[in-house]
Amino acid sequence: MSSERIVVIGGGPAGLEAAHCVAELGVPVSLVERSPALGGTPISENYAALTPNFESAEVAMGRMIDRVVEEPGVDVRLESEVTDMDGEAGSFRLTVATGGAETVVEAGAVIVATGFQHFDPGRETQMYGYYEYPDVIALQDLEAMLKVHDVVRPSNGKPPERICFVQCVGSRDRRIGNEYCSKVCCGVASKEAIEVRQQLPDCKVFIFYIDMRMYGYWENEIYWPAQEQYHVQYVKGIITEVLQKGDKLLVRGEDTTMGRPMEVPMDMVVLSVGMEPSQGTRTVAKTLGIEQNKYGFIAASAPPLDTVSTSRPGIFACGAALGPADLEDTVSSAAAAAAKAVRLVRRRRVAVAAS
Amino acid sequence: MATASALLKLDAAAGFDDVSYEEKARLFDEVRADLRYPEYLYGCYECGICVAACPSARFYDFSPRRIAQAAAREDVELVYQQMQEDIWECSQCFSCLRCPRGNNPGGVITIMREVAVNNGLASARQALEGYSRIIYKIMSTGTQVSPDMLQPDAFPDWGPEVKDVSDNLALWRKALPPETLHTTSTGWDVDPRTLTELYVIWFETGALEMIKEVDEGLYTILEEIMEERLEEEGITP
């Protein structure tokens, strides 16, 4: 039986935006979120401030959450997962498991907003000693410190005097298999570098990179201020290894533009880990029977001009479930997915009424 | 006896004495304290457009990019090394102004040179050594190259004509239509009032003082000449 309801899977920035858009267009929506809380990765991974505008992640995501839960047309299901689906565009039947209980939700269209997870530097090899040295951390670990204004060396609890970021960890790497650029890490690392300089003005901050990818306005919203106002040092050259030397970490690499090898002591090393498809993205893609690309992200069926349709009619995807995306792209694709999903259920309503 | 390690020091091998890190940091701070500095250096992409435009980079191991980079990275050691070497390879043509970030590496070099001169760095002395005659001429007469400096022994490649000209230099100069050019020991006839004003400028701006750090002898001569004239004019510098 045809249904006008739209099911959104995932309660992060993409899912919240999609659910809100669908509800605003007057279509009933069910938002299915696996964890006990809405807000997605920015909340679960303790992001301090959002890139690029430095607004508190809790405040910004809180606003998105409020918009959704206050909308009468939205049925939010926390701690819930879609475990099965049949039917076709216009008349899907989804099995939603909440705790031990299963319910069937009828939907005309589905929007997948299951997002990404941070690359694990210990996934295959012990890259840069992430699990070996306490002072080697990742972007999200530093976010958590910045959030509570307590940036200290995990090894001794003292504020660092020298911090470096290592870019492209788990991205742009044929051996690891993630050949893509994760898009956001240059901006996020630079944003965090600025925050470190704000919170610890005496701490020197270095960013070791392959290419700085600061698209569009991020250039003069983050990159230029980081260099010009906060004197963050950008060095083109990727660190090959991190070694322990006394109570310091020695990073080894090449200063390519100066044409010299370098061995620099650091108090903390921050790995700018990239994006990988979340477990939810992988599972949901299989459950719904939609194609994934070679990296496990959901494949858009007709790029570049249709970024949200998938291989199965009636199922749309948005945000970082489709691949690395910043927040701006995430909410944009979420709104596009909502528009396409609503169009689909409305057309069917017109068709049903006419018959 | 000099120890082997002292002889092997890289800086000494490059032709200048090493100094303490604190002294290098002080010199860099002096560069950064210059009022022009914030407008000459923003941040560096390390893109190399300045090097591509730089005529000196074609002939020397010189790179305006490295100048901007070293300063932007606050690399005290490298900035010092550049003040002892690289900055004197710049021709100050400012082709590097085409920087997309609005940097002015040539301008940073201007400041670094001034700091090098003001602090009597060995490189500044060495770089200005060959110019003592010209500095003397400019500061004492207000004109740069005078006809009597262009002698055949200095310029053998100019051919036989130059000997004929220099033998009868005064006559040749008289043949020039403007009267102000009927001179041999100055480029043109300098008005006494202009010269007095120039001397006041050299004193007041500290330009004369700059010479003191790099060429004490030249400074003494110039100071004497200037003070004498200013005394005649009733001016106490």
What does the DSSP assignment read for A69-97? HT-TTEEEE-SEEEEEEEEETTEEEEEEE
What angle separates helix B216-232 from helix B207-214, to the nearest 10 degrees? 150
User: Residue A227 and residue B43: Cβ atoms within 8 Å?
Assistant: yes
Mean predicted lDDT score pLDDT of chain A:
95
Predicted confidence at residue A227, as pLDDT, reads: 95
Q: Is B179 helix (H, G, I), strand (E, B) or coil?
A: helix
Asked if A151 and A199 touch (Cβ cutoff 8 Å), the reply is yes
Pick from B42, B66, B101: which is nearest to A258 by CB? B66
Residue B159 confidence (pLDDT): 80
Q: How far is CA A100 from CA A79, A80, A82, B8, B63, in A?
A: 10, 10, 13, 77, 69
Pick B42's closest partner by Cβ from A228, A235, A236: A228
Q: Which residue intervals of chain B are DSSP H helices?
A: 4-7, 10-13, 21-33, 37-40, 49-53, 55-59, 64-72, 76-84, 105-118, 122-129, 132-141, 161-167, 169-174, 192-205, 207-214, 216-232
| Percent of all residues in chain A with a pLDDT value above 70, rounded to a whole number | 99
Work out the average pLDDT over A209-222.
94
> Model confidence over A288-300: pLDDT tens digits?
999 999 999 999 9
Residue of higher predicted confidence among A348 and B218: B218
Residues of chain B with Cβ-Cβ distance to A257 below 8 Å are 46, 65, 69
Which residues 235-254 in chain A show a CB within 8 A of chain B? 235-236
Residue A57 DSSP SS3: helix
Q: Give A305-323 pLDDT, tens digit per residue.
A: 999 999 999 999 999 999 9
pLDDT at B237: 72
Note whether A189 and A207 are within 8 A (CB). yes
Q: How far is B101 from chain A (nearest CA, A)?
A: 9
Position of tokens 């990765």? A41
* Helical (H) or strand (E) element with B75: none
The chain B residues in contact with chain A (CB within 8 A) are 42-44, 46, 65-66, 69, 72-74, 101
A220 touches B: beta carbon within 8 Å? no
B101 to chain A: nearest residue by CA?
Answer: A224
Q: Do A258 and B43 touch (CB under 8 A)?
A: no
Interchain CB contact of A219 with B (< 8 Å): no
- Residues in Cβ contact with B119 at an 8 Å cutoff, skipping those fewer than 6 apart: B27, B30, B213
Collect all residues of chain A within an 8 Å Cβ-Cβ radius of residue B65: 257
Q: Do the Cβ atoms of A228 and B69 come within 8 Å?
A: no
Say if residues A32 and A287 touch (Cβ distance below 8 Å): no
Contact (CB<8Å) B74/A231: yes
The rounded distance, in Å, linking the Cα atoms of A130 and A72 is: 46
Three-state DSSP class for B211? Answer: helix
Structural domains in chain B plus CATH codes: 11-127 (1.10.1060.10), 132-232 (no CATH)
Q: Which domains does chain A have, with CATH numbers?
A: 6-115+278-354 (3.50.50.60), 119-274 (3.50.50.60)
DSSP B24-37: HHHHHHHHHHSTTH
Distance (Å, whole) CA A50 – CA A59 = 10
With CA atoms as reference, the chain A residue closest to B64 would be A258
| pLDDT at site A355 | 67
In angstroms, the CA A242 to CA A227 distance is 24
Minimal-distance CA residue of chain B relative to A234: B73
| Partner B contacted by A164 (CB < 8 A) | no
**Does pLDDT of A200 surpass 50?**
yes
Q: Which of B65, B66, B73 sits opposite A233 (nearest CB)?
A: B73
Contacts of A203 in chain B (CB under 8 A): none
Q: What is the mean pLDDT of each run of 10 residues along chain B (237 residues)?
A: 38 67 97 97 93 94 95 94 95 95 97 94 87 90 87 78 86 93 93 94 92 90 95 88
Which amino acid, one-letter code, is at A172? Answer: R
How far is the alpha carbon of A214 from chain B, nearest alpha carbon, in Å? Answer: 12
Residues from chain A that touch B101, judged by Cβ atoms under 8 A, are 224
With CA atoms as reference, the chain B residue closest to A206 would be B73
Q: Which residue of A has its CA nearest to B47?
A: A257
Pairing of strands A204-209, A116-118: unpaired
Q: Which residues of A touch B102 (CB under 8 A)?
A: none
- Identify the closest residue of chain B to A257 by CA–CA distance: B46
Residues 6+ apart with CB under 8 A from A54: A191, A195
Are the C-beta atoms of A165 and A193 separated by less than 8 Å?
yes
Q: Do A257 and B69 touch (CB under 8 A)?
A: yes
Q: Tell me the pLDDT tens digit for each residue of A84-135.
A: 999 999 999 999 999 889 999 999 999 999 999 999 998 766 779 999 999 9
Residues 109-128 of A with CB under 8 A from B: none
A33 sits in the region (left: phi over 0; alpha: psi -120 to 50; else beta) called: beta
One-letter amino acid at B119 equals N
Average pLDDT over residues A207-229: 95
Cβ contacts of A233 on chain B, cutoff 8 Å? 72-74
Instruction: Find the closest chain A residue to B66 by CA distance.
Output: A258
Number of CB atoms found within 10 A of residue A126's CB:
13
